[in-house]
Structure 1
Amino acid sequence: MSDEPQIPPSVPSQEARQWAMFCHFAAFLGLIFPFGNLLGPLIVWQIKKDFDPFVNDQGKEALNFQITVSLAAIVCFLLMIVVIGFPLLMLVGIAALVLTIIAGIKANEGQSYRYPFTWRALK
């Protein structure tokens, strides 16, 4: 098994592209609820993963990225003891925001997006 993007055999339907986009954008629930950045993509993916292979692929990718972001944030909080955690947490937050927006736009265009620097716990 490789980390190559799983390209669907045809262009996903408009509805599949929208649900894939929602998988990515559901991470913004983290701005409202604690752990919403994990729960949002998880819930959307679990509900719609059987709808279309593209939604399943992008849902897993979104969830893997949010798991990685959460782990990076925990490390940043621990590093706040030595001050470096404050700027690192800002950097992680800005990167997560930008990459999530890019991923949602790409998914809505029907392109399979792969986040950089992501630990892919879900295969």
Structure 2
Amino acid sequence: MERIIENPDERTWGMLCHLSALAGAVIPFGNIIGPIIVYSTKRAEFDFVEDQGKESLNFQITMTIALVVSAILIVVAVGLLLLAVVGLYTLIYTVIGSVKASQGEFYRYPVTYRFIK
């Protein structure tokens, strides 16, 4: 059975690891900078934040690479569709990760390369 985190502070900071990625909508590379800030400030205090911070960072790095590739493919016309699909996919799974973390669940994003182990 999967472990559930009971500490509300730990759950909140774990959720912020995921939600902080939405800063990318306002700040260039904010989707990576936000989780790095939360992860680096609270990882020593909470194991859950360390785990979810790594997970969020890995997902955001993977999606940033996918967005860059999609942007390059705009010259072939398929890039516009890919940009929309990757952007929507990123938004949906970031929200799902946030909700799961707020419930104290250890969430794993699908289709994510684990850069940070």
Distance 1:8 1:22 in 2: 21
**1:88 counterpart = 2:88:** no
Gaps of 5+ in 1: 1-6
**How do residues 84-123 of structure 1 correspond to structure 2 at under 5 angstroms?**
84-123=78-117
- Report the RMSD for the aligned CA atoms in angstroms: 1.4
Report if the CA contact (8 A) 1:38-1:66 is conserved: yes
- The residue that corresponds to 1:29 in the other structure is 23
How many residues of Structure 1 are paired with residues of Structure 2 in the alignment?
117
Query: 2: CA distance between counterparts of 1:112 and 1:39?
Result: 21
TM-score of the pair, normalised by structure 2: 0.95
Alpha-carbon displacement from aligned partner over 1:79-119 (angstroms, at most 9, x marks no partner): 11100000001000000000000000000000000000001
TM-score normalised per structure 1 = 0.91
Distance 1:77 1:10 in 2: 39
Matched residues, percent identical? 44
Q: In the aligned structure 1, how far is the partner of 2:2 from the partner of 2:8? A: 14
Matched, 1:62 2:40: no
Structure 2 segments unaligned to the other structure (5+ residues): none
State the AA in 2 paired with 1:25: L
